[in-house]
Amino acid sequence: MMQDEKNITVVDEEGNEQLCEVLFTFDSEEFGKSYVLYYPISSDEEDEEEIEIHASAFIPNADGEDGELMPIETDKEWDLIEEMLNTFLAEDEEE
C-alpha cells in the first residue's frame, strides 16, 4: 500500500478481497506506527448515505511499496484514531 494511492485492497478473515478508498493516513510517534483510515468502495450507490470507516495500523515493507495492515490493539490507539478522525471531519466540513 502506498501513501499516495487512494485505493487499497483489503483481505478479510474469509480471504475475500475488498477494494477500499483511503480516507487519510497519519503517523504516530507515540506508538511508533502509521495508521490508515479507509472505507469499502460500494458497488451499490444506494449505500452512500452511511459509510463504515475502518482503521488499521500499517507497516510499510522495506521497499516502501505494499505494506501489511495490522489490527489496532489498544484503547489508547483507538482514542488517538478517533481524535484524528474527528479533526479530519471537522476540517473537511469547513472547506
Series of mean pLDDT values for 10-residue runs along the chain (95 residues): 65 86 93 92 64 87 73 95 93 79
For 91, what's the count of Cα atoms within 13 Å in the CB-facing half-sphere?
7
Let me know if residue 2 belongs to a domain: no
Quote the DSSP letter at residue 51: -
For 78, the domain range is: 7-94
| 1 falls within a domain | no
Q: Are 50 and 70 in contact (CB under 8 A)?
A: no
Q: What is the pLDDT of residue 3?
A: 39
- Whether residue 86 lies inside any domain: the answer is yes
Residue showing cell 448515505: 49
Parallel/antiparallel/unpaired status of strands 67-70 and 54-60: antiparallel
Is 89 within a domain?
A: yes
Residue 43 has what pLDDT? 62
pLDDT of residue 4: 43
Q: Domain for residue 80, yes or no?
A: yes
Adjacent-strand bridge partners of 38: 22, 54
Q: Please count the structural domains in the chain.
A: 1
**Domain-located, residue 64:** yes
Residue of 31, 3, 9 whose CA lies nearest to 21: 9
pLDDT at 1: 40
